[in-house]
Structures are given as C-alpha cells and as structure tokens.
Amino acid sequence: MLLCWPYKTLLNNVVELLNECFVILTVYIMHGFSFFIPDRSVRYDIGWVYIGVVGIVFLLNMAVIIQKFVVFILLKVKHFKAHRQLKRKQNVLARLFSWQSLSQRH
C-alpha cells in the first residue's frame, strides 16, 4: 500500500491511503455484527462505532471535495478577471488607435 503512490498530489495520495485503512477497519468491525459476539448490547455499541468510522470517512472525503471545489472556483474567478481586464485593455487600445487614425485623416 505504501510502495505505490497512484496520484500526483500528496493530498490525493494521503486521502487514498486513509480510505484504504478505513476500508480495512470497517471490514474488521463488520465481524462484530456476527453471532460470534452473543451479547446484543455489545453488537449495538459496535454499530455505533461503525457509524462513527463511516461518518469520519464521509466527512474527510467531503472536506477534500469542498476544498478542491473552492480552489477550482477561485482559479476560475481569477482567470475570468484577468481575461476581462485583457479585453478592456484591448478595447481601449482599439478605440485609441481608431481615434488616432481618424484624426490623422483630416
């Protein structure tokens, strides 16, 4: 598991590693739901532990998704602003040169 890093960024590789560890942990916890543990209250408590582990995995993955989405939106806004400023400069230059060419004709 630690010999191969399938993603380019460290964040994606760490999340992948944590997801794999959580899968192993949840599979291990699933054995607690079987009849190897005869006490129902213990199985009930194991269920809450399982819900907690799945909730942590869910929140971790949602946090990564939200972080990537926010970065994506900020980059798009920055690109849009730069593109808009470039267009404004081009329009100003086009008007300036067209005005100069008109004044030079007379």
Does any domain span residue 99?
yes
Take residue 56 and report the two structure tokens written for it.
């942590």
Note whether residue 5 is domain-resident: no
Domain count, the chain: 1
| % of the chain with per-residue pLDDT over 90 | 58
What are the pLDDT digits (tens) for 80-90?
A: 999 999 998 88
Cα-based torsion angle of the residue sequence 69, 75, 79, 81 in order, rounded to the nearest 10 degrees: 90
* Predicted confidence (pLDDT) at residue 29 exceeds the cutoff of 80: yes
Beta-carbon neighbour count of residue 86 at 10 Å?
10
Identify the domain containing residue 95 by its residue range. Answer: 10-105
Three-point CA angle 9, 10, 11, nearest 5°: 90
For the stretch 53-80, pLDDT in tens is: 999 999 999 999 999 999 999 999 999 9
Residue at 3 is within a domain: no
Note whether 1 and 17 are within 8 A (CB). yes
pLDDT at 102 over 80: no
Decide if 51 is inside a domain. Answer: yes
